[in-house]
Structure 1
Amino acid sequence: MNNITCIAAAETNVGRIRKNNEDNFCFDGICLNSADDNLSVVSGCREFPGSCAFAVFDGMGGESCGEKASEIAAHTFREHFAKIHKVDSEKKLEKLLNRFYRSANNSVRKLSKKIRATSGTTAAILVMMNNRAYISNIGDSKVFRLSEGGLVQISEDHTMAGVMIRSGVMTPEEASRTKGRNSLTRFLGSSSDDGDRVPCFSIRVDVRAGDRFLLCSDGLTDMVTEERIAGILSAANTSCPEKVSALVGEAMANGGRDNCTVILVETA
């Protein structure tokens, strides 16, 4: 099989309600700095002929704690994955992911200790390597795959609702009406039960040319239905950046109640 080439674009928007952007991302070495938090940032489009890595983060905490937590995670990701093109095996990738999670988790915990307040951030990660996609996440930022089978979420929601659904206690419809359903059960900055291991979710999928992968914060999925997301991603004669802008624009048109960050990776 010929090597898959990736074309990707990213955009973040503070939204119509929030005053600061607690989202962050890492795209082609680009991350948000605190000074950028009120901007709508479009990273542009880039072609990646080899291995590449992308991530979305959604911070939480009072004052500017969430903003700082996601910034720490994004910059830590950039440092760890700057040489992703040199990673040539799953074992090396697994070690790299574990090092990132440990480092980011510890750094955010230090932030919480310093400011004497709880802070944290989600992480949704996509690594493309050797015609395979490696997805890892913690929290409720999502990774979707659009292929011939339709739009499917391949990340795992670490929320109270997600726990109840996976355990069979509730249906998705029942869980959607439960109080506290969006409370996170895992996030970067929380204490780890077994020391160095951060309880994230990871999965590997084979990639075919034409597959599309979407990373996003809940500022998109809380505002736009999956059916509508699939429709935008499937639109003919629209470029990767145009689809990204359409997704963010739809979230803003529907109320823009939260920060919204989107990365779209198309394969060819």
Structure 2
Amino acid sequence: MAISLSYAARSHIGLGTKSRNEDSAYAGPELLVLCDGMGGHAAGDVASSLVLGELVHLDGEGDGADDMLDVLKDSIAKANDRLAEVSHESADSSGMGTTCIAMLRSGTKLAVANIGDSRAYLRRGNRVTQITRDHSFVQQLLDEGRINAQEALHHPQRSLVTRVLTGKTDDHPDLSVRELRSGDRLLLCSDGVTDYVAEDTVADILRSPGSAGDIADQLIAISLRASTRDNITVVVADAVESDGSTKPQVVGAASQRRGPHRTEGGVSTPASRAAALSHRTHDEPEAPELAEEGHAGPLTWLRRGLVTVAALAVIAAAGYGTFLWSQEQYFVGESEGNVAIFRGLSQDLGPWSLSEPSTVTDVRVDELPPFYQERVSATLSADDEPDAESIVTELRGLIERDCTPIPVIPPDVGQSGGRSLPVPPGTEPPADQIETVLPPGCEE
């Protein structure tokens, strides 16, 4: 039984403070890709669009079912190598990374690659299943039994990922092959959906009737109603027996990074059509020219002056309002080698910094695991000051401590006024006079 895909891709910048969309997504007849870039001013939008751009050539290449998983794996590895090259070429891109879900179809076979905390779901009949596993700090806590599923929904560090594509040689995605059936519905989504919309609600929408475009629109709308502060991107694809979609769709950051589209031997490929579609969709018309005014009399100059004064007053008021708003923003970053909580915006305006440290902690950045060193250097956004403090607490817990028990002489032996005394160097008191204690921070 021949199967094709009817698909739709949608993206929205969200309701948070992000000034640009760092997600990128592609939907084509044989390829679905979603990337959620990260790195703040370290070019998360570049990372997501770069990886997507390195994968779109797979659509229409006609790889066989036996080879497509290896083809997908190799293409993601090459995209990751390209990330490394761009990171080394530009200081602004250092520390960038991206999640990636990619699905390559051949007939009824579907090769799936996933790294990061973007998610993919499969609706088969009335059953909805998450078919990817989050590579996140919260997922680790769940796996270890330290939190339950309800606590995970509202955990302050649900945005901390443990594996993404960063250009390093050990950035490997999870790989699997699935069988597609007619009537199946696939969803790829960024955490702008799943961090704010209950999983049961997502499942209900996937079960509802309607085209792939209808479902994608509903998911964007429900995420906005949930006041998501992150970028929102979804790809919905239905497995159908009839002819499916044929025109590739590109949304998010990749749709805004224009360039000459490729053709192979003068023949239009899905990748080239996607580039052309993106170019047509996002090209903006030139601003209309204004007719020249005639001679300006005194009343005209007075009117212009009043308008100018009013405009300056509005700009000043808006600037002051923006300043007040910025002082309510917090993020975690690095100050003189230590983890610090900053107040303001993690950006610079020319020579002026728009933030300053409000608290410099005793947590050394170089004592954190390498991945989290990069995340702190790239800054971690927080909803408010308590959220920033909770981020610091989680980072502190990532530092490996030397928890070797320390021998001490108990108070009743050492006559130390109720305090245990450390064993003096070079002495060996009788064993029955020695106790051991854990160093600070190692208590259960």
Contact 1:135 1:154 in 2 (8 A): no
Aligned to 1:62: 40
Of 255-264 and 113-122, deviating more is 113-122
3-state secondary structure, aligned to 2:37:
strand
- 1:163 is aligned, of 140, 143, 150, to 140
Relative to structure 1, the CA distance from residue 205 to residue 166 in structure 2 (aligned partners, 3 Å threshold; closer, same or farther) is: farther
How far apart in 2 are the matches of 1:119 and 1:143? Answer: 23
How many residue pairs get aligned? The number is 237
- Following superposition, the deviation at residue 65 of structure 1 comes to 0.7
The one of 160, 182, 185 equivalent to 2:162 is 185
CA distance 1:169–1:202, change in 2 (3 Å): farther
Structure 2 equivalent of residue 253 of structure 1: 225
Q: CA deviation at 1:64?
A: 5.4
Separation in structure 2 between the aligned mates of residue 150 and residue 15 of structure 1, nearest angstrom = 29
Aligned AA (2:3): I
Q: SS of the residue aligned with 1:6?
A: strand
Q: How far apart, in 1, do the equivalents of 2:193 and 2:216 lie?
A: 11
| Counterpart-to-counterpart distance in 2, 1:257 and 1:177 | 14
Secondary structure of residue in 2 paired with 1:98 = helix
Question: Are 1:219 and 2:195 counterparts?
Answer: no
Q: 2:99 aligns with which of 116, 122, 131?
A: 122
- Match among 17, 31, 55 for residue 77 of structure 1: 55
Shift of 1:111: 2.5
Farther-moved stretch of structure 1 (108-117 vs 56-65): 108-117
Aligned counterparts, 1:78-93, within 5 A: 78-79=56-57, 81-84=58-61, 86-90=62-66, 92-93=67-68
CA 1:93/1:258 → structure 2, altered by over 3 Å: closer, same or farther? Answer: same
CA spacing shift, 1:74–1:235, aligned 2, 3 Å: same
Asked which structure has the greater RCO (Cα within 8 Å, sep 6+), the reply is 1
TM-superposed deviation, 1:143: 0.6
Q: Distance in 2 between matches of 1:171 and 1:77?
A: 36
Give TM-score scaled by structure 1 length. 0.81
**Cα distance in structure 2, aligned partners of 1:142 and 1:170:** 20
Distance 1:8 1:187, change over 3 A: same
CA distance in 1, matches of 2:181, 2:125: 10
CA distance in 1, matches of 2:125, 2:90: 48
How much has 1:113 moved relative to structure 2? 2.3
Q: Does 1:143 align with 2:120?
A: yes
State the shift of 1:148 in Å. 2.6
Higher mean alpha-carbon deviation, 165-174 vs 5-14, is at 165-174
Instruction: Write out per-residue CA displacement over residues 21-53 of structure 1, whole angstroms, 9 at most, x where no aligned residue.
Output: 00001223xxxxxxxxxxxxxxxxxxx4xxx11
Q: Match of 2:24? A: 24
State the shift of 1:132 in Å. Answer: 2.4
1:133 is displaced (CA, Å) by: 2.5
State the distance in 2 between where 1:102 and 1:133 align: 19
Q: Can you give the 5+ residue segments of structure 2 that lack an aligned partner in the other structure?
A: 241-444
Q: TM-score, normalised by structure 2?
A: 0.50
Question: Of the candidates 102, 119, 141, which is equivalent to residue 77 of structure 2?
Answer: 102
Give aligned-pair identity as a percent.
27
SS of 2:40's partner is: coil
- State the Cα deviation string for residues 117-175 of structure 1 (Å, max 9, x = none): 31000001122223122221110111100113521110111111223333555443454
Point out the structure with max Rg over C-alpha.
2
Is residue 177 of structure 2 the alignment partner of residue 204 of structure 1? yes
In 2: Cα distance, 1:174 partner to 1:185 partner: 19
Deviation at 1:13, TM superposition (A): 0.9
The verdict on how the C-alpha distance between 1:252 and 1:179 changes in structure 2, with shifts beyond 3 A counting, is closer
| Counterpart in the other structure of 1:111 | 86
Displacement after TM superposition at 1:93 (Å): 1.0
Separation in structure 1 between the aligned mates of residue 167 and residue 145 of structure 2, nearest angstrom = 26
The residue identity in structure 1 corresponding to 2:11 is T
- Larger mean CA deviation between 144-153 and 111-120 belongs to 111-120
Check whether the contact 1:107–1:189 (CA below 8 A) recurs between aligned residues.
no
- Judging changes above 3 Å, is the alpha-carbon distance between structure 1 residues 64 and 192 closer, same or farther for their aligned structure 2 residues? closer
DSSP 3-state at the match of 2:26: strand
Conservation of the 8 A alpha-carbon contact between 2:9 and 2:26: no
Structure 2: distance between partners of 1:219 and 1:171: 21
State how far apart, in whole Å, the 2-side matches of 1:63 and 1:207 are: 39
Q: Which moved more, 1:184-193 or 1:161-170?
A: 161-170
Structure 1 residue 234 and structure 2 residue 207: aligned? Answer: yes
Q: Which runs of 5+ in 1 are unaligned?
A: 29-47
d(CA) in 2 for partners of 1:160 and 1:25?
A: 24
What SS is found at the alignment partner of 1:247? helix
In 2: Cα distance, 1:55 partner to 1:87 partner: 17
CA deviation after TM superposition for structure 1 residue 181, in Å: 4.0
Runs of 4+ in 1 over 6 A off after TM superposition: none
Determine the C-alpha separation between the residues in 1 that align with 2:104 and 2:125. Answer: 21
Letter in 2 for 1:88: G
Displacement of 1:87 in angstroms is 0.6
SS in 1 for 2:161: coil
